[in-house]
A = this chain, B = another copy of it.
Amino acid sequence: MKKHNYSAGPCILPQEVFKEASQAILDYNNSGLSILEISHRSKDFVDVMEEARSLSLELLGLENKGYKALFLQGGASMQFLMVAYNLLEKKAAYLNSGTWASKAIKEAKLFGEVQVVGSSEDKNFSYIPKKYDVPGDVDYFHCTSNNTIFGTQMKKFPKTAVPVVCDMSSDIFSRQLDFSKFDLIYAGAQKNMGPAGTTLVIIKEDILGEVSRKIPSMMDYKVHIGKDSMFNTPAVYAVYVSLLTMRWLKEQGGIKAIEEQNEKKAQLLYSEIDINPLFKGFTAKEDRSIMNATFNLTKDSLKDEFDKMWKDAGINGLNGHRSVGGYRASMYNALPLESVQILVDVMSDLERKA
């Protein structure tokens, strides 16, 4: 039975990617060797890393604009730390829009003063803070473009002269933005880019070198840039599968084309949430994420029936995060419209039955 995978991450990737990724484990590029057993210094893998780095910049429209792409380890959680290590000399401004933003703030405080310029913690992060100013004297401004757990998404970003750092883990490559407005973008791969185990970091090189502390090699963006993202053995397979996924995205027509698909999927589901009296969205409407839709049943008594229905329909990973409860439908790039239609049909069926 076909599965409809709404997992929040690690999450669905294109079926074509799984096929090619599986074959490469048995024999990579007709070399007679598995991709898992080749040297990361071999031409085969250096080619993978270089194509992944350049394709990430190409997809974001950031070629030849002073940016470097890195594939590092440790997830966004490691970036919370690396960003502060490399950029926080005295004070930084952070927007607190959810759990991950809060964690980024916690780590940054070990390195300097953190000014939280806006927060939606008062309403369990169900909206994006809007009326705030970024001071001109901070080292950088940090925000989270999409809040996976709560299902909110920043539609606008503040205009500021200070460097803008953005955690785009859960919506990178899903929508068009002027990415050149950002100075540092990071994203754990395990949503729209690939499997868990690697993290894309895109840095405008000229923001580096401003802090006075000594930075350990593995924490130092300049060290990784100087070694073309191969300072030490990278997460070979995770980078390879990320490359396959980015190639797939390019074949689909890039971010412009996938954004249209993502908008259709989100519209289909949010329409059902809004018209079906048995469901209620969790977030402020204007801040709804096109990646993660969070919603609840209006009658708790229907929970068992609804849960059985969507599981019977082959749907996977629809339970909400413990911080929010209810349901969360993560509709990343590789989730087909058909899967969303299945979920919407189940929701309608519930209304007819109830």
Contacts and interface: CB of A to CB of B under 8 A. Distances in A.
- What secondary structure prevails in chain A residues at the interface with B? loop
Interface string A2-20: 1101011111110000110
A301 interface: no
A36 B73 contact: no
Interface residues of A, number: 62
Given A18-B26, A26-B19, A237-B196, A32 B2 contact: yes
Contacts of A76: 232
Given A197-B73, A233-B188, A22 B32 contact: no
A235 B18 contact: no
Interface string A52-91: 0000000000000000000001111110110000000000
Given A26-B18, A236-B10, A33 B3 contact: yes
Contact of A233 (B32, B196, B218): B196
A214 B18 contact: no
Given A21-B25, A22-B26, A107-B216, A234 B196 contact: yes
A110 B216 CA distance: 7
B18 A32 contact: no
Interface of A: 1-3, 5, 7-13, 18-19, 21-23, 25-26, 31-34, 36-40, 73-78, 80-81, 103, 106-107, 110, 188, 190, 195-198, 214, 216-219, 231-238, 241, 314, 316-317
Given A18-B36, A75-B233, A197-B234, 15 more contacts: A13-B34, A18-B37, A22-B22, A32-B314, A39-B317, A74-B218, A75-B232, A78-B218, A81-B218, A103-B217, A188-B233, A190-B233, A196-B234, A237-B238, A238-B238
